[in-house]
């Protein structure tokens, strides 16, 4: 069957496509329909952080599928309870209340609504270069004009300030500010790591002015940066933490974890599939796997190893390498697309972060022998 042709005919043409039909994944690898094998440093933008088709996740989904697949949020549920307790335990202290949904953008939608409801204020301050999703609320918090154009007007009350600049942010605060929405590592925006002092000042300001600090860890959460959550690098405790992608071994899920002080809008928000028992079972297995295998430690060591090897090589095309654990950005002087194509031809999937940054999000479980292949190919194309 010509899958490519069928999709070309039937798919609403939203995603620019690579000319490959993927049919199988295992651990760090993906295979196309012709049996060609690739090392996956895209991992579905970080969703397959524990590798593709993790055995524990498969087992959990298989077992749960025989018990209960769907269950409305109006009832209590065994898997949901276990996952919520695990999330409260796994996330930074003080975050005690969980709302489950199905994607990253939905976590931001929920956070915006929770913050407006809880503070009775309307406005949000966000960062330039920030990315928070594609639905209209999350898009209102997203900076890049390319994503916003032709969808405006978006929500009122959102303003943008330069990342890592406390004075600019403080100057935008008003009596209407409900929340500040930030990533601690701007991933889509080019892999820019936040500054600890900046985040601590922002947190202090939020506490003084009764503003909610909303941190988007959709891409950085669950061990990727070398801590369970990237906020731990900065010693901050957000009022609302948004997570998704890696939470459930690649199964769709998002979670918003709030401090007790955030007032829940009872009966005013919801999701049919949020907290779906299959997704919960996958998430429980995935989080257990991360904890048992100390994946935060692996992310630090492997990130330092890869970046160290690149930095000790003379790569004239490379302007700067930025990273925190296994979120890696290699900035070039030029457009990265031709380099991504060359990497793909040599069996490595990598992605961009803006026009001039190659972004690597390998599985945290990647073997050193596989990392060596990635390093070798990167050096080959960047020399």
Residue of the chain from 187, 284, 336, 378 that contacts ligand PLP (CB under 6 A): 187
Q: Of 219 and 225, which has the nearer Cβ to ligand PLP?
A: 219
Q: Of 188 and 239, which has the nearer Cβ to ligand PLP?
A: 188
Show the DSSP H helices in the chain as ranges: 3-10, 43-46, 55-67, 78-90, 104-119, 136-140, 145-148, 166-172, 196-209, 277-292, 295-311, 337-345, 368-382
Q: CA–CA separation, 53 vs 14, rounded Å?
A: 26
The stretch near ligand PLP (CB under 6 A) out of 181-189, 282-290, 336-344, 357-365 is 181-189
Does residue 206 contact residue 180 with C-beta atoms inside 8 Å? Answer: yes
Residue of the chain from 21, 45, 77, 92 that contacts ligand PLP (CB under 6 A): 45
Q: Of 107 and 377, which has the nearer Cβ to ligand PLP?
A: 107
Q: Of 54 and 105, which has the nearer Cβ to ligand PLP?
A: 105
3 state DSSP class of 77: coil
Q: CA–CA separation, 191 vs 78, rounded Å?
A: 38
131: Cβ contacts below 8 Å, ≥ 6 apart:
142, 143, 144, 147, 183, 186, 187, 188, 189
- Contact between 132 and ligand PLP (CB under 6 A)? yes
Residue of the chain from 133, 190, 249, 329 that contacts ligand PLP (CB under 6 A): 133
Binding marks (x or -) toward ligand PLP, 211..250, rule CB under 6 A?
-----x-xx------------------------x------
- Contact between 129 and ligand PLP (CB under 6 A)? no
Does residue 38 contact residue 346 with C-beta atoms inside 8 Å? Answer: no
Q: How far is the CB of 105 from ligand PLP (least distance, A)?
A: 3
Q: CA–CA separation, 269 vs 258, rounded Å?
A: 15
Q: CA–CA separation, 213 vs 173, rounded Å?
A: 13
Residue of the chain from 29, 38, 90, 131 that contacts ligand PLP (CB under 6 A): 131
Under rule CB under 6 A, how many of the chain's residues touch ligand PLP?
14
Residue of the chain from 109, 183, 331, 370 that contacts ligand PLP (CB under 6 A): 183
Q: Of 64 and 103, which has the nearer Cβ to ligand PLP?
A: 103
- Contact between 188 and ligand PLP (CB under 6 A)? yes
Q: How far is the CB of 145 from ligand PLP (least distance, A)?
A: 17
Question: What are 28's strand-pairing partners?
Answer: none
Residue of the chain from 105, 118, 225, 276 that contacts ligand PLP (CB under 6 A): 105
Q: How far is the CB of 254 from ligand PLP (least distance, A)?
A: 7
In terms of phi and psi (left: phi > 0; alpha: psi -120 to 50; beta: otherwise), the region of 91 is: beta
3 state DSSP class of 16: coil
Q: Of 143 and 381, which has the nearer Cβ to ligand PLP?
A: 143
Q: Which of 312, 310, 286 is nearest to 364 (CA)?
A: 286
Question: Residue 241 carries which DSSP code?
Answer: E
Q: Which of 201, 202, 204, 236 is nearest to 217 (CA)?
A: 236
Residue of the chain from 25, 104, 277, 362 that contacts ligand PLP (CB under 6 A): 104
Q: How far is the CB of 133 from ligand PLP (least distance, A)?
A: 4
Q: Name the residue whose CB lies closest to ligand PLP.
A: 104
Q: CA–CA separation, 138 vs 377, rounded Å?
A: 36
- Contact between 164 and ligand PLP (CB under 6 A)? no
Binding residues (CB under 6 A) for ligand PLP: these are: 45, 103-105, 131-133, 183, 187-188, 216, 218-219, 244
């Amino acid at each position: 069957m010509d899958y490519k042709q069928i999709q070309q005919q039937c798919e609403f043409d939203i995603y620019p496509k690579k000319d490959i039909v993927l049919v199988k994944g295992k651990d760090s690898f993906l295979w196309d329909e012709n049996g060609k094998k690739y090392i996956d440093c895209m991992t579905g933008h970080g969703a397959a952080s524990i590798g593709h088709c993790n055995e524990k996740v498969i087992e959990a989904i298989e077992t749960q599928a025989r018990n209960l697949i769907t269950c409305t949020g109006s009832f209590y549920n065994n898997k949901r309870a276990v996952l919520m307790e695990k999330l409260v335990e796994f996330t930074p202290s003080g975050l005690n209340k969980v709302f489950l949904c199905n994607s990253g953008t939905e976590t931001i939608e929920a956070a915006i609504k929770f913050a407006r409801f809880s503070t009775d204020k309307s406005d949000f301050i966000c960062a330039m270069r920030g990315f928070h999703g594609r639905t209209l609320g999350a898009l209102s918090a997203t900076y890049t004009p390319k994503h916003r154009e032709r969808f405006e007007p978006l929500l009122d009350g959102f303003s943008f300030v330069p990342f890592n600049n406390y004075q600019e942010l403080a100057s935008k605060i008003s009596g209407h500010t409900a929340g500040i929405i930030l990533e601690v590592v701007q991933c889509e925006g080019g892999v820019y790591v936040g500054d600890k002092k900046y985040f601590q000042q922002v947190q202090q300001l939020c506490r003084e002015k009764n503003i909610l600090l909303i941190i988007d860890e959709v891409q950085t959460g669950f061990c990727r940066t070398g801590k369970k959550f990237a906020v731990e690098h900065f010693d901050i405790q957000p009022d609302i933490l948004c997570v998704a992608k890696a939470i459930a071994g690649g199964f769709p899920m998002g979670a918003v974890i709030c401090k007790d002080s955030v007032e829940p809008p009872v009966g005013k928000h919801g999701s049919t599939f949020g907290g779906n028992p299959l997704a919960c079972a996958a998430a429980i297995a995935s989080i257990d796997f991360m904890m048992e295998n100390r994946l935060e430690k692996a992310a630090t060591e492997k990130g330092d190893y890869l970046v160290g090897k690149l930095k000790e090589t003379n790569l004239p095309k490379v302007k700067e390498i930025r990273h925190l654990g296994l979120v890696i950005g290699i900035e070039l002087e030029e457009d990265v697309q031709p380099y991504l194509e060359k990497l793909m031809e040599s069996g490595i999937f990598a992605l961009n972060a803006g026009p001039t940054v190659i972004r690597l999000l390998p599985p945290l479980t990647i073997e050193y022998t596989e990392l060596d292949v990635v390093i070798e190919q990167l050096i080959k194309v960047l020399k």
